[in-house]
Amino acid sequence: VSYLPYALAVWIFVVGLYGVVTSRNLIHLAVCLNVMQSSTYVLLLSVGYLRGGTAPIFADVPKGTRAVDPVVQALTLTDVVVSVTVLALLLALAIQVQKHSKTVDPDELRAMHG
Amino acid sequence: MDVLVPLPVAIPLIAAAGLTATGPVLGRHVDDTVGVATAAATSVLSTLLIFRSLDRDLVYWFGGWTPRHGVALGIGFDVEPLSAALAAFAGVVTTASFVFAWRYFDEVGTLFHVLMLIFLGAMSGFALSGDLFNMFVFFELMSVCAYALVAYQIEAAAPLQGAINFAVTNTIGALLVLIGIALVYGRTGALNLAQIGRTLDGRKPDGLVLVAFALLLCGFLVKAGAVPFHFWLSDAYAAAPIPVCVLLSAIMSDLGLHAIARIYWPAFSGTLGASAGSLRALLVGLGVLTALVGAAMAFLQRDLKRMLAFVTISHVGMLLAGVGLLTARGLAGSTLYVITDGLVRGALFLAVGILIHRAGSGDELRLRGLGSRAPVAGIVLFAGGVLLAGLPPLGSFVGWTLLVRSSASVGYGWLPAVLALATLVTGGTLLRAAARIVFGWGEGEDPLLSHEPPAEEEPRVPASRLSPQLLFGPAVALLAVAIGVAFTPRLGDHATRWAQRLEDRQAHAAEVLAGKLPPAVPPVPVHAGIAPYAYSLASLAGAVVFALFGLYRQRLPGLVRGWAGRLLDPPVTALKALHSGVVGDYVAWLTFGVAALGGLVALLGR
């Protein structure tokens, strides 16, 4: 198995993480979080990948055809749903913050500390 | 298969869907009635599950996909008494919270009830699931509901900030869990916990398994709120509406701990067994650190909600140390402690809610001497403070006994003393607040404490519409249950027996995957001895002294004050500065924690 997809997943994760830590804009932050989540799609799909495997649909193919693992694909689909939910919620919160504080910079949200 | 098993998840979800459709038409009273009735029904069902699983696990395979030739094909729930007890506990607290919200919130839309019900369903599912990926899904469902609920009072700044910090850090926590799951699946081809355990059993842990375990551990610790993953927790709990705080503090934090035990015993204890000693040192160390940091921060707060958030962190740390002892008795003790202590914390949050409602503030200093406006809240604060510190043989004492015994059995005899110090500080802090609010003792200003909380959105309630019992009843009821649990005969003995069933991973795997009855284990008698009483009473006495210190600190002789100030001021300032409220900082700490913890697990597991 090639290590490339795993290296790619790590790269996407770290890039997203860097964005989240340094972000000065809530919308940018939400998108960076989504980028981090994309790394898990790559990881999951590469875990279940088989060289030369077809899509795991067994309707009209001969018995014993090599197919990639359908379980991880189901997991990825669930993961996508989750990430969209979180993104939508964060963007909704960002809109409220803008309405309320006239800023989307997380560093300027100082209602609570200490 | 027992048809009752999926109902604690299904019923709240169905009720939530029904309410979404009909709520806007039928009006507020229907929302409240349906909410209370559903939560109560769920707690009754989960309680039934405890009794039905006394002697063997209830394993339920969705869609009838039972294992073939000892290989799990479908998705399963695995109900044992301790997890059913947590689900029942979630139901009870949600019921109390709904009853409280009935009177507390004047204008609250149907969506509040819907979110609370989905939250309840997700928590039950998370507690009962025997499948790793299913745990992730319920984890996310629970989290998303919680983010939305924290930001429910969307007009104010604090809830928005709290919800954003909460959502970002917990999403990263969930990603860590998911990556861990992907790695475990890549290694074992299994998602069922018992199946993973069977595949890994007897193998020497390789790097991949260690990394996967470390990631799962970190992910669940983010949810539990262990140092250095805890920063989001105080912001979210301080900003959430009271009925939501009750659920978050009482149950959600504790479920993160439960998940650690739930993945360690069936899935990883076989392969990591050889390095259990170093893993124990790691978890206990982290737990102790969390307990002490949480306690210190709690003492420095004047905002009662934020104070209780740090109390939650401190006690979660304590119970992390209990679970981290990696013994059946430690797990049993922690679970019992989690439930009783969670009920007390829930009651305390409700008492703060009553004060906000009656006296218009949740700030300790501003409430000074105003306790007479809500005597019940004052009584609950006092009782809660005493119960947090420890009051043998009531409240959490059964769990405490097991923890003390378990620490001694694995050579951590010093642990109870440190944990008693943490309960001394948290209990003392609560007693300080209670004495200041009810009797007006202490100074009116204290420069040591953190800044004043943002003004509370005062819930407007028409005075005569509903009886005030709806406001006071839930807090008193939760306290009564917390005290009453201790009277269950031989509770500690049975809990240890149940935990041993989880600990015996081969029998457990045979039961889940092949339906073999586990060997009958007799209840394990616990000889309390003198030590748990001594620690508990010392903590209580210390808490009273500490409360007086907190109240009259400024009257100490100038020499002592100056000396103590020079010694303690720098760490206190640094500790406060760390809790900066900026999400980027929190994520940086999270990254540091994952790197440190992952590195240690990889190093120690070799």
B459: confidence class by pLDDT, cuts 50, 70, 90: low
Q: Which residue of A has its CA nearest to B572?
A: A114
- CB within 8 Å: A47 and B186: yes
DSSP state, residue A1? -
Contacts A20 to B, Cβ<8 Å = 168, 172, 583-584, 587
Q: Which residues of A touch B234 (CB under 8 A)?
A: 112
Query: Smallest Cβ distance to A106: which of B181, B583, B588?
Result: B583
Rounded distance between C-alpha atoms, residue B593 and residue B224, angstroms: 14
Among B137, B120, B211, B124, smallest CA distance to B174 is for B137
What is the pLDDT, as a whole number, of residue B233? Answer: 92
Residues B462, B350: Cα–Cα separation, whole Å: 19
Q: Specify the pLDDT at position B464.
A: 44
Q: What are phi and psi of B342, to 5 degrees?
A: -65, -40
Residue A51: per-residue pLDDT: 83
Containing H/E element for B76? strand B76-79
ipTM: 0.95
User: Using one digit for the tens of pLDDT, what is the confidence trace for B549-604?
Assistant: 988 888 888 888 888 888 888 888 899 888 888 889 999 999 999 999 999 998 88
d(CA B429, CA B386): 10
Higher pLDDT, B108 or A32: A32
- Which residue in chain A has the smallest CA separation from B235? A112
Enumerate the residues of chain B whose CB falls inside 8 A of the CB of residue A96: 151, 154, 160
Contacts with B148 from chain A: Cβ below 8 Å: 89
Chain B residues closer than 8 Å to A26 by CB: 164
Q: In this complex, how many residue pairs, one in chain A and one in chain B, have their CB atoms less than 8 Å apart?
A: 129
Provide mean pLDDT across the span B525-532.
Answer: 82
**Which residue carries 């209670």 as its tokens?**
B434
Do B265 and B213 touch, CB atoms closer than 8 A? Answer: no
How many Å apart are CA B456 and CA B492, to the nearest integer?
42
Give the whole-angstrom CA distance, residue B554 versus residue B251.
Answer: 37
Report the chain A residue with the minimal C-alpha distance to residue B177: A40
Average pLDDT over chain B, rounded to whole?
89
pLDDT single digits (tens) B436-450: 999 888 887 787 887
Least confident of A2-6, A84-88, B145-149: A2-6
**Chain B touched by A96 (CB under 8 Å):** yes
CA distance B463 to chain A (A): 31
Contact A20 B175 (CB under 8 A): no
With CB atoms and an 8 Å threshold, state whether A109 touches B178: no
- How far CA B497 is from CA of B55, B89, B213, B323, in Å, comes to 10, 20, 26, 16
For the ranges A93-97, B40-44, B191-195, B526-530, the lowest mean pLDDT is seen at B526-530
Band of residue A30 on the pLDDT scale cut at 50, 70, 90: very high
Tell me which residue in A40, A71, A111 faces B161 most closely, judged by beta carbons: A111
pLDDT at B330 over 50: yes
A29 touches chain B (CB under 8 A): yes
Three-state DSSP at B471 gives helix
Q: Which residue of B lies nearest to A105 if distances are taken between CA atoms?
A: B582
- CA dihedral of B209, B211, B213, B217, whole degrees rounded to 10: 180
Average pLDDT over residues B332-351: 93
CA distances from B430 to A13, A24, B205, B376, B540 (A): 42, 38, 45, 15, 12
User: Is residue B504 over pLDDT 50?
Assistant: yes
CB B162 within 8 A of CB B128: no
From the candidates B587, B591, B592, B594, which should be mutated to test the interface with A, based on the most A CB atoms within 10 A?
A: B587
When pLDDT is cut at 50, 70 and 90, the band that residue B225 belongs to is: very high
The pLDDT value recorded for residue B558 is: 83
Nearest CA distance, B449 vs chain A (angstrom)? 9
Q: Which residues of chain A does B172 touch, with a Cβ-Cβ cutoff of 8 Å? A: 17, 20, 33, 36
Exposure of A74 by Cβ count < 10 A (0-12 exposed, 13-18 middle, 19+ buried)?
Answer: middle
Inter-chain touch A75–B151, beta carbons under 8 Å:
no
**Is residue B3 exposed (0-12), middle (13-18) or buried (19+ Cβ within 10 Å)?**
exposed
- pLDDT at res. B454: 64
Among B399, B270, B396, B288, CA closest to B344: B396
Are the Cβ atoms of A21 and B160 closer than 8 angstroms? no
Contacts of B164 in chain A (CB under 8 A): 26, 90, 93-94, 97, 106, 109
Say what the pLDDT of residue B457 is.
53
CA distance linking residue B81 with residue B495, whole number of Å: 8
- pLDDT value at residue B535: 92
Smallest CA-to-CA distance from B171 within A40, A114, A98 is with A40
